[in-house]
């Protein structure tokens, strides 16, 4: 295993990206993984606490979105492992790395939950799009493709959430 500037250890791989680029992309992917795990937990918070006449449809939407976020987390974790990195995927690790705003504990009404999630999904979508560019800039087409796939899904989920608010 090798390290760069006391950075994370790399497992051997024949991926033809230079080690310093792999370390940078692994760091970026782990940061995004933290956001993803945090966002998923916030969606579950909304799912568990939503009340009111829209309970059932919102509970269903939130559950579907949480499942999609699980898939995104798996894509990122797999890419980290492929690049020879260590996945930083515990709740405590995510809490340290995530920069998403904390989810309110007093939210009850459906539109309040949807509004809070729209705010977080918009931020998350922006981060994902920026990460596409960062991966492309260092010629890591594989990671850029992972981010692109996630971006399409996140944009769709944001659209679904925003549509609920447009009554």
Between these two residues, 31 and 111, which has the higher pLDDT value?
31
Helix (H, G, I), strand (E, B) or coil at 132: helix
| Structure confidence at residue 4 as a pLDDT band (50, 70, 90) | very low
Read off the pTM.
0.90
Neighbouring CB atoms inside 10 A of 57's CB total 12
First to last CA, the chain: 56
Which residues 6+ apart lie within 8 Å of 133 measured at CB? none
Task: Measure the CA angle with vertex 101, ends 100 and 103; round to 5°.
Answer: 115
pLDDT at 3: 40
What pLDDT, on the 0 to 100 scale, is given for residue 75? 97
Binning pLDDT at 50, 70 and 90, where does residue 167 land? low
Judge residue 167's burial from the number of C-beta atoms within 10 Å of its C-beta, 0-12 exposed, 13-18 middle, 19 or more buried: exposed
Paired strand residues for 85: none
Identify the pLDDT of residue 8.
59
Q: Which pair of structure tokens corresponds to residue 115?
A: 């509004």
pLDDT at 143: 97
pLDDT, greater one: 74 or 107: 74
Cα dist from 31 to 14, 78, 90, 95, 165, whole Å: 24, 14, 12, 10, 30
Report residue 159 as tokens. Answer: 């659209």
The pLDDT tens digits for 113-128 are 999 999 999 999 999 9
Mean pLDDT across the chain:
91
Helix/strand/coil for 138: coil
Distance between CA atoms of residues 166 and 63, nearest Å: 21
């Amino acid at each position: 295993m090798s390290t760069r500037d006391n950075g994370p250890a790399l497992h051997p791989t024949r991926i033809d990206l230079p080690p310093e680029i792999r370390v940078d992309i692994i760091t970026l992917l782990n940061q995004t993984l933290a956001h993803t795990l945090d966002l998923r937990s916030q969606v579950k918070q909304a799912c568990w606490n939503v009340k009111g006449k829209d309970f059932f449809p919102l509970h269903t939407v939130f559950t579907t979105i949480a499942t999609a976020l699980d898939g995104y987390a798996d894509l990122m974790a797999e890419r980290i492992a492929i690049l020879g990195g260590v996945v930083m995927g515990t709740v405590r690790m995510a809490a340290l790395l995530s920069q998403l705003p904390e989810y309110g504990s007093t939210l009850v009404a459906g539109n309040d939950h949807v509004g809070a999630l729209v705010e977080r999904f918009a931020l998350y979508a922006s981060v994902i799009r920026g990460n596409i560019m960062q991966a492309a800039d260092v010629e890591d087409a594989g990671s850029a493709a992972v981010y692109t796939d996630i971006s399409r899904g996140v944009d769709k989920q944001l659209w679904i959430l925003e549509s609920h608010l447009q009554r």
